[in-house]
C-alpha cells in the first residue's frame, strides 16, 4: 500500500476552505461553544409550499422512480425557458437551448470539459468563486486571473484585458451579481463582455444565481443581442428559490454549445429524480412576484441591516449598494490580513464569518458576512461582537 499514490491532479488543489473549516466549527460546537455561522450562503428558508407539495405528489406515483433523461424532462426544460422569458425577456428554445443541471457547480465542470483542453487558458475573476479556479486546475487548464477592483465597482477592466495575450484563452468566467463582492450586474458590462467574446473567440460564461437577492431589477447576460452565439449563462434554483439542497440548476446558450455540454454530461451522470424535476418546474411556474419580494428582498433586507451593524462593530467599511445574500466589507488597517480578524471573531465572539482571501488575492483585506441566518441568530451575533473591543 505504501506504493499507492494519488493522482497528481490532487497536488493542484487543497480541500475546500469551508469543508475544512466546518470540521473545526463542529468540534467547537461539540465542546459547547455554540458557534453562530454567518459564513456560507445556504438559504435557510423553505421553498414555496406548492413546490414541496409537487415533490410529495410525484414521489407517491409508482411509475416516477425510474431513470430520467440526462437532458431533463420537457416539463422542466419548458419551465426554465419560460423563466428566462418571464424574468429577463429572453427567448429560449426549450428543446435545444437549455440544459438542466445537478446544480450550477456541476455546470462549471461540464462546460470546462466541453471547451477546454489541458494547457488551454481560462480567465478567472480575482476575487471570485473558488470553484472556477479549482476545477480548472483539476482538469489541467491554466488559470489566468483578471482583476476586479472596488474602485471600478468590481467590474472587469477591459483595457487591462485587451493588453493581455489572449491567444490561448478558451473560457472567461464572470459572475454578476458578483459573489463575494456584491457588485451588481450592469448592461454596459454585459455588452462589453459579448463584444469581447466575439472579437477574441472566447466563450464567456456568466454565473447568475444571485440576480433575485436584494435586487429589484434582475438582469441576464443573454439580454444582449447576439450573446447566445458566443456566451453561456448558468442559473440556479438554490438561491432565488430556497432550494440549495435540491441541486437544480440550468445552463442556457445556443444549440451547438448545449449539445457539446450534454455530450459530456451524459457520460458522467443521469437525470435527477422525476419528483425533483417536476417540483422545480412547479416552482419556476407558480412562484409569484409577491413570493419573490418577500423571500428574496424583504427578508434579506431586514437581515442586511443587522449585517451592516456587525460590519460597523468590527470597524469594517462597505459599499451599501451591494446586492446578493452577503455583505462584503474592508477590514481596518491595523489587521495584517482578513484571517487575523475572522479567527478572532470565531474564537472570541464565537461567530464564523468568511475571510476574503479564499476568493483570491484581491480579497485579502475583506471579510464576508452571509445573510443566510435567522434574524435572532444575527442579532445574537451582533450582541457578541458588539460586546468586544475591536
- Fold entry, domain 8-46+290-386: 3.90.1150
Asked if 283 contacts 248 with a C-beta cutoff of 8 angstroms, the reply is: no
Q: What DSSP designation does 254 have?
A: -
CA angle 380, 383, 385 (to 5 degrees): 110
Q: Average pLDDT, stretch 68-75?
A: 95
Domain limits, CATH 3.40.640.10, in the chain: 49-286
Domain limits, CATH 3.90.1150.10, in the chain: 8-46+290-386
Mean pLDDT, rounded, of the chain: 95
pLDDT band at 18 (very low <50, low <70, confident <90, very high): confident
CA angle 39, 40, 46 (to 5 degrees): 125
Cα separation of 1 and 75, whole Å?
A: 50
Give the pLDDT of residue 72: 95
User: Which strands form 354-355's sheet, in the order they lie side by side?
Assistant: 317-318, 326-330, 366-370, 354-355
Give the pLDDT of residue 148: 97
- Phi first, then psi: what are they for 53, rounded to 5°? -60, -40
Residues 352-376 pLDDT 10s: 999 999 999 999 999 999 999 999 9
- Out of 168-177, 306-315, 381-390, least confident range: 381-390
Cell of 152: 471600478
Cα separation of 203 and 71, whole Å?
A: 22
Q: Average pLDDT, stretch 301-309?
A: 97
Q: Average pLDDT, stretch 82-95?
A: 97
Share above pLDDT 90 across residues of the chain, in percent, rounded to a whole number: 92
Q: Average pLDDT, stretch 94-111?
A: 96
Share above pLDDT 70 across residues of the chain, in percent, rounded to a whole number: 100
Q: What DSSP designation does 102 have?
A: S
pLDDT band at 77 (very low <50, low <70, confident <90, very high): very high
CATH number of 49-286: 3.40.640.10
Query: How many CB atoms within 10 Å of residue 265?
Result: 27
Going through the chain in order, the beta strands assigned E by DSSP cover: 36-37, 98-101, 121-126, 142-147, 169-174, 203-207, 231-236, 249-252, 317-318, 326-330, 351-352, 354-355, 366-370
Q: Is the pLDDT of residue 126 over 80?
A: yes
Cα separation of 22 and 269, whole Å?
A: 28
Q: What DSSP designation does 148 have?
A: B
Give the pLDDT of residue 1: 63
- Out of 13-17, 25-29, 36-40, 49-53, least confident range: 13-17
Give the pLDDT of residue 17: 84
Give the pLDDT of residue 210: 96
pLDDT band at 228 (very low <50, low <70, confident <90, very high): very high
Give the pLDDT of residue 153: 95
Q: Average pLDDT, stretch 319-326?
A: 95
- Out of 13-17, 196-200, 251-255, 327-331, least confident range: 13-17
Amino acid at each position: 500500500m505504501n506504493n499507492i499514490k494519488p493522482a497528481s491532479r490532487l497536488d493542484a488543489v487543497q480541500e475546500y476552505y469551508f469543508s475544512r473549516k466546518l470540521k473545526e466549527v463542529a468540534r467547537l460546537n461539540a465542546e459547547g461553544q455554540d458557534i453562530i455561522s454567518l459564513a456560507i450562503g445556504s438559504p435557510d428558508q423553505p421553498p414555496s409550499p406548492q413546490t414541496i407539495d409537487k415533490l410529495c405528489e410525484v414521489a407517491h406515483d409508482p411509475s416516477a422512480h425510474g431513470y430520467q433523461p440526462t437532458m431533463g424532462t420537457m416539463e422542466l426544460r419548458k419551465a426554465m425557458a419560460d423563466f428566462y422569458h418571464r424574468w429577463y425577456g429572453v427567448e429560449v428554445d426549450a428543446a435545444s437551448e437549455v440544459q438542466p443541471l445537478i446544480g450550477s457547480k456541476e455546470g462549471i465542470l461540464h462546460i470546462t470539459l466541453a471547451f477546454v483542453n489541458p494547457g488551454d487558458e481560462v480567465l478567472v475573476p480575482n476575487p471570485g468563486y473558488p470553484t472556477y479556479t479549482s476545477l480548472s486546475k483539476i482538469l489541467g487548464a491554466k488559470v489566468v486571473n483578471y482583476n476586479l477592483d472596488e474602485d471600478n465597482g468590481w467590474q472587469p477592466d477591459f483595457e487591462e484585458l485587451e493588453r493581455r495575450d489572449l491567444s490561448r484563452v478558451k473560457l472567461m468566467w464572470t459572475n454578476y451579481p458578483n459573489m463575494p463582492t456584491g457588485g451588481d450586474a450592469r448592461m454596459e458590462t454585459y455588452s462589453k463582455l459579448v463584444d469581447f467574446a466575439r472579437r477574441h473567440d472566447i466563450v464567456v460564461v456568466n454565473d447568475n444565481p444571485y440576480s433575485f437577492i436584494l435586487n429589484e431589477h434582475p438582469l441576464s447576460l443573454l439580454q444582449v443581442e447576439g450573446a447566445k452565439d458566443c456566451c453561456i449563462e448558468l442559473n440556479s434554483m438554490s438561491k432565488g428559490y430556497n432550494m440549495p439542497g435540491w441541486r437544480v440548476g440550468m445552463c442556457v446558450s445556443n444549440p451547438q454549445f448545449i449539445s457539446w455540454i450534454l455530450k459530456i454530461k451524459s457520460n458522467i451522470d443521469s437525470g435527477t429524480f422525476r419528483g425533483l424535476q417536476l417540483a422545480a418546474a412547479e416552482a419556476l411556474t407558480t412562484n409569484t412576484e409577491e413570493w419573490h419580494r418577500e423571500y428574496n428582498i424583504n427578508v434579506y433586507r431586514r437581515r442586511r441591516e443587522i449585517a451592516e451593524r456587525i460590519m460597523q462593530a468590527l470597524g469594517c467599511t462597505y459599499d451599501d449598494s451591494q446586492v446578493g445574500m452577503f455583505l462584503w466589507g474592508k477590514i481596518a488597517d491595523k489587521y495584517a490580513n482578513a484571517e487575523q480578524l475572522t479567527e478572532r471573531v470565531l474564537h472570541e465572539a464565537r461567530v464564523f464569518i468568511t475571510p476574503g482571501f479564499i476568493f483570491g488575492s484581491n480579497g485579502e483585506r475583506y471579510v464576508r458576512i452571509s445573510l443566510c441566518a435567522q434574524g435572532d441568530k444575527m442579532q445574537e451575533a451582533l450582541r457578541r461582537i458588539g460586546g468586544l473591543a475591536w
